[in-house]
Amino acid sequence: MSQVRLSSSVTSAFLLVALARSLSAAEPPALSAKVNAETSIYTDDNHVDVFTPAIAGTVENPLAGWSVSGHYLVDVVTAASPDIVASASPPFQETRHAGSVGGAFRSNDLGASADVSFSSEPDYLSLSGGVRGTLDLAQKNVTLFLGYSYRNDTAGRAGTPFEVFQRKLHTHSLTGGASIVLGRSTLVTVQIDGILERGNQSKPYRYVPLFEVGTAGLVPPGASVEQVNAMRLDARPLEELPRLRDRHALAARISHRFSGATLRLEERLYTDSWGLKASTTDARYMLDVGRRVTIWPHARVHVQSGATFWRRAYEVQGPEPGTLDVPVIRTGDRELGPLYTLTGGGGISVELSSRFLMSLQVDGTYTSFLDALYVSRRIGFFSALSAQASFE
């Protein structure tokens, strides 16, 4: 199935290239096009595998100041993680389709862009759109930007129409910041994000184990499915998360060009109304090897606290014999608990000609879940092979 869709994507790429060539034949100095095809693979020791072919393209007219772009990808996901086993659910394979179309226009010091996108799975549909404006100041040494986007997500159950069962989530995002040129070799970007989420984010397949009061301390971090089942109560309510979530993030990036190399450092600080706080630090050093080859090591560190309502094991005690006082807010999502992730790897890009570029990226990740059931750590590997062609 994935091979058929990949062939369809490649066909679309050739159509885009043909269109760009026909247009550029009429105005050769003005029009250009870029096509990028990528295939990425992710796998980890929790039995989750993802295969993602993707295609993207851009047609632009620099003289007129406009461009249009689009991308399309397919995620083929196979999963048999401990969470699935704990819910007595069989391993599954599903396919996600995602794509977007956008356009941009620039006139002198002003720029504007807009895009719409979609993501579709058997039990999930996401539709979004956004706009963004830019203003150049100080002879283009300072660029201010401001953007807004809205996303409408509908979650359901596989095999059940949305008309029968659905959960809605509305997301409003506001982004603002500035890019500042510090000399001929240094660029600094600062960005502030505010995201408002309203709706039900609880997973309709995630059940939360409950324990008698006084027994949670006996359930160790990373306890196996068998250990949890031996100690938990019979009741397993579905996950229930707060219906409101406000997210805030401050990010900064500095890029500096040395003689024969470029250093890029990024830092992002995050907090939200669920009490989760996080820091993400990313570093990449791109070294020129001759005129056509660039290699780079890559390192990333992510650290976060848990949400205020996070519990490794939820204890319950009924107000009367035979009843349970189930916590109103409860979750089994270990991504909402305290954790840290270390990422390391690198990549290489080769300019085969003035119009054709290929690159390969390989990263390994180690995640430690400090206070979660079933899984105490995750080791994953990600690789992406891409090819980019340019036409004028």
Beta bridge partners of 367: 341, 378
CATH, range 39-52+59-385: 2.40.160
The three-state (H, E, C) secondary structure of the chain, written as one string: CHHHHHHHHHHHHHHHHHHHHHHHHHCCCCCEEEEEEEEEEEEECCCEEEEEEEEEEEEEECCCCEEEEEEEEEEEEEECCHHHHHCCCCCEEEEEEEEEEEEEEEECCEEEEEEEEEEEECCEEEEEEEEEEEEEECCCCEEEEEEEEEEEEEECCCCCCCCCCCEEEEEEEEEEEEEEEECCCEEEEEEEEEEEEEECCCCCCCECCEEECCCHHHCCCCCCHHHHHHHCCCCCCECECCCEEEEEEEEEEEEEEECCEEEEEEEEEEEECCCCEEEEEEEEEEEEECCCEEEEEEEEEEEECCCCCCCCCEEECCCCCCCCCCCCCECCCHHHCCEEEEEEEEEEEEEEECCEEEEEEEEEEEEEECCCCCCCEEEEEEEEEEEEEEEC
Say what the pLDDT of residue 88 is.
52
Tell me the average pLDDT across 361-390. 96
Distance, CA of 38 to chain centre: 16
Report the C-alpha gap between 208 and 226 in whole angstroms: 15
Say what the pLDDT of residue 89 is.
58
Say what the pLDDT of residue 30 is.
77
Say what the pLDDT of residue 93 is.
83
- What token pair was written down for 352? 């085969």
Number of alpha carbons in the 13 Å side-chain half-sphere of residue 7? 4
For the chain, give every domain's residue range: 39-52+59-385
Report the C-alpha gap between 55 and 361 in whole angstroms: 17
Distances (CA, A) of 57 to 13, 69, 99, 128, 177: 7, 6, 12, 20, 27
201: nearest Cα among 139, 273, 260, 266: 273
> 298-340, pLDDT tens digit by residue?
999 999 999 999 999 999 986 665 667 889 999 999 999 999 9
Tell me the average pLDDT across 130-146. 97
123: nearest Cα among 88, 80, 167, 91: 167
- On the question of pLDDT at 29 being above 90, the answer is no
- On the question of pLDDT at 10 being above 70, the answer is no
Say what the pLDDT of residue 2 is.
36
> 60-93, pLDDT tens digit by residue?
998 899 999 999 999 999 987 776 656 655 667 8
- On the question of pLDDT at 1 being above 70, the answer is no
Say what the pLDDT of residue 83 is.
67
**Cα end-to-end distance, the chain, whole Å:** 34
Tell me the average pLDDT across 240-249. 98
Q: Residue 332: what are its φ and ψ, rounded to 5°?
A: -120, 10
Q: What angle do CA 354, 360, 366 make, to 5 degrees?
A: 155
Report the C-alpha gap between 66 and 113 in whole angstroms: 9
Instruction: Mention every residue, 6+ apart, whose C-beta is less than 8 A from residue 53.
Output: 2, 5, 6, 9, 37, 38, 39, 73, 74
21 versus 232: the higher-pLDDT residue is 232
Say what the pLDDT of residue 317 is.
80
266 versus 391: the higher-pLDDT residue is 266
> 87-113, pLDDT tens digit by residue?
655 667 889 999 999 999 999 999 999
Q: Is there a contact between 178 and 190 (Cβ–Cβ < 8 Å)? A: yes
Instruction: Mention every residue, 6+ apart, whose C-beta is less than 8 A from residue 295.
Output: 286, 287, 289, 346, 347, 348
Percent of the chain at pLDDT > 70 equals: 89
